[in-house]
Structure 1
Amino acid sequence: MSSCSKSTWPPRLVTVPGLHGSEGAHWQTWLERQFARSLRVEQADWDAPDLNGWAQSVRDLIARARGPHVLAAHSFGCLATAHALQQATHAADVAGVLFVAPASPEKFAFAGAFEARRLGVPSILIGSETDPWMPLAGARELAQRLGSAFVNLGDAGHINTAAGFGPWPRAKYFVDTLVHCAAPLRFREEAVEPAAQAFV
């Protein structure tokens, strides 16, 4: 039986905040209200970035909650999410990932060594021309290494509350896009499944 047929659909939204978490006015909090059954990855200490520890929190939630999931990460949460999904076993139940304003790995070198490798799931990376945490060229390069579609949001700062990103309908559009991208694979797997069982 395919893993998709065992799962619920559409995928459950999981937000992965960055340093200091995401407050009530943040777009991630708004996005959670747009999807039923949404979840948030929690960290033991939002003020102490730790790549391995934060990535493990992502893995733990994915393992604990019934999937599939679509992840929406921000800032250092993008690095933690990408790090968590480098192992195929943890990416298997993820339909897609939205990376928004990823923090520069160089700025967080003290939090653990980060290696950008191609992910095995569809992803979109949103960069900004005026992000103090990651130059646009760096965001574009990270997107290429991860195998993500890249979107330049223009003069958008760090794409957070301070930059005016509270309610953000485009974030929902990007998540919906990832869900629609994953849907054909799911239905194709389910269509093939009965024939496959006949030969067992």
Structure 2
Amino acid sequence: MPRIRGASIEEHHELVWADLAEAVRQLLLERGYDEITMGHIAARAGLARNTLYNYAADKPALIRALTERASRPMRERVAAIAAQPATPAADRLARIVEAVLEASTDQALQPMFRPGSGPLVAEVPKGPDNPFTAVVSEVENVVREGITRGEFRDVGDVALTVELLSGAMRAGAEHIGREATAYAATVRSAQELILACLAPVQGRT
């Protein structure tokens, strides 16, 4: 029977998931996603390969599970920020931008934001099972509230606008991944750019 780490089975599983996240991160720094096998991940995490299959049936399933787990704190933080109707929409949106870019520095999530991580991103499911879908939904709600209150201009298609603005967020995350010292400046620039795109046009009501 494998040795149990931690004070309980639950704590043991959390420690293993943390090891798996770090193993994937390290391997992605060394080789392309397609070159990484479940055997590589198990070896780097210090697990027997058959033990790894207790956590995920294959590599795509493992990536989905790791991303979902790692993104929970960000999703909870974004939801808490969005659920503050007394706070101006622009302030909430600026804080959401910061929350997402801060999450991009998390070692477990950072591979998702690395340049050239297309194959890795492709493993994350589309639709409601995507861990970032909840974040997008919260942003759309904040933008709609801002439009209703006259804080933002009427952009027409809110979903499309948020999708386009999310490109700026990803670009910011990739920049931070390349230059960690540029974190604060990148957050400010992303906030300014996104809020400028939503600002009311002068002279129009």
Q: TM-score, normalised by structure 1?
A: 0.31
**Larger Rg: 1 or 2?**
2
Name the one with the larger helix percent: 2
| TM-score (normalised: structure 2) | 0.31
